[in-house]
Chains A and B, each alone.
Chain A
Amino acid sequence: MPLNYEIAERTLANGLRVIVSEDHSVPNVTVDLWVNVGSRHEVEGRTGFAHLFEHLMFQGSRNVASGEHFSVLMAAGGRLNATTWFDRTNYFETVPRGAMDLALWMEADRHGHLLDAVNQENLDNQRDVVKEEKRQRYDNMPYGNALIDVYAVIFPKGHPYHHATIGSMQDLDAASVQDVHEFFRLHYGPDNTVLALVGDLTPDEGFVAAEKYFGPLPATAAARRGPVEPLATLSAPVRDEHIEDVPADRLHIAFRLPVDDTPEFFASSLAMDIIGGLATSRLYRRLVRGEQSAVSVSANAMGFVDGISLGLMVIDVADGFDADAVEAAACEELVRFAEQGPTEIEMESALAQTERGWLSSLASQEERADHICHFATLQGDAGYINTFLDRLGEVSADQVQQAAARWLMPTSRAVVAYLKQDGDTR
Chain B
Amino acid sequence: MTPQESVLERPEVSPPKPWSFPDAQRSELANGLAVVSYDIPGQYVISVRLAVPMLLEREPRDREGVATIMARTLDEGTARHTAEEFAELLERKGIALGAGVSDSGLIVDLDVPKRHLTEALDLLSQAVREPAFPENEVSRHVKTRLAEIDQERAVPGQRAAMEFIETYFDARERASRPTAGTKATISAITPQDLVVFHAANVVLSGATVVVAGDLGDLDIVSQVEHALGSWTGAAVDAVEPHAAVRSVDAARIAFVDRPGSVQTEFYVGCPGPDRRVEGGWAAYQVLGFVIGGSPNARVDAVLREDKGFTYGIRSGFRPRRCGGMFLTSGSVRADSTVEALGLLLDILDKAREGFTAEETQAGVDFIGKTAPGRYATADTVAEEAAGLSLEGLTTEFTTATLLALAEVDASALAAAYDRFVSGEWTVVVVGDAGLYAEGVRGLGRGEVTVIPA
Contacts and interface: CB of A to CB of B under 8 A. Distances in A.
A177 B424 CA distance: 44
A279 B91 contact: yes
A120 B94 CA distance: 52
B419 interface: no
B340 to A, nearest CB: 11
A360 B111 contact: yes
B217 interface: no
B379 A360 contact: yes
Contact of B16 (A63, A77, A316, A319): A77
Interface in A340-379: 345, 348-349, 352-353, 355-356, 359-360, 362-366
Interface string A35-78: 00000000000000000000000100001001100110011111
Interface in A369-402: none
Contacts of A292: 140, 143
Contact of A285 (B5, B84, B304, B379): B84
Contacts of B44: 1, 359, 362-363
A280 B93 CA distance: 13
Interface string A282-317: 000100110010011000000000000000000010
Interface in A125-149: 125-133, 135-137, 139-142
Interface string B363-404: 001101110111011110000000000000000000000000
B311 interface: yes
Contacts of A94: 373
A132 B309 contact: yes
Contact of B11 (A101, A200, A319): A101
B276 to A, nearest CB: 27
Given A27-B372, A75-B362, A98 B13 contact: yes
Interface string B301-329: 10011111111000000000000000000
Interface stretch (B148-156, B161-169, B191-199, B346-354): B148-156
Interface string B328-369: 000111000000000000000000000000000110011011
A352 B93 contact: yes
B94 A25 contact: no
A349 B11 contact: no
A230 interface: no
B42 interface: yes
Contacts of B18: 27
A363 B45 contact: yes
Interface string B240-277: 00000000000000000000011100000000000000
Interface residues of A, number: 79
A148 to B, nearest CB: 15
Interface stretch (A211-219, A231-239, A325-333): A211-219
Contact of B92 (A79, A105, A136, A345): A345
A132 B151 CA distance: 22
B40 interface: yes
A186 interface: no
Contacts of A78: 370
A99 interface: yes
Given A1-B44, A77-B368, A295 B144 contact: yes
A101 B8 CA distance: 11
A364 B40 CA distance: 12
B378 A363 contact: yes
Give the interface centre of B3, B13, B154, B365 by most chain A CB atoms within 10 Å: B13
Nearest to B85: A280
A353 B373 CA distance: 26
B304 to A, nearest CB: 6
A248 interface: yes
Interface string B132-157: 00000100100110110011011110
B366 A75 contact: yes
B112 interface: yes
A117 interface: no
A247 B154 contact: yes
Given A140-B331, A213-B8, A25 B156 contact: no
Nearest to A141: B155
Contacts of B140: 288-289, 292
B418 interface: no
Interface in B74-98: 83-84, 87-88, 90-96
B305 A67 contact: yes
Contacts of A345: 88, 92
B311 A280 contact: no
A349 B155 CA distance: 34
A140 B373 CA distance: 34
A83 B360 CA distance: 29
B182 interface: no
A61 to B, nearest CB: 12
Contact of B14 (A98, A246, A356, A362): A98
Given A140-B156, A355-B94, A77 B45 contact: no
Give the interface centre of B112, B261, B294, B296 by most chain A CB atoms within 10 Å: B296
A13 B87 CA distance: 53
Given A76-B369, A280-B84, A128 B377 contact: no
- Closest 7 pairs (CB-CB, A-B): A77-B369, A128-B308, A352-B94, A98-B14, A247-B150, A101-B11, A349-B91
17 contacts: A25-B42, A27-B372, A66-B305, A67-B301, A96-B13, A97-B16, A99-B14, A105-B11, A125-B308, A218-B3, A280-B84, A353-B91, A355-B94, A356-B111, A356-B112, A360-B379, A363-B377
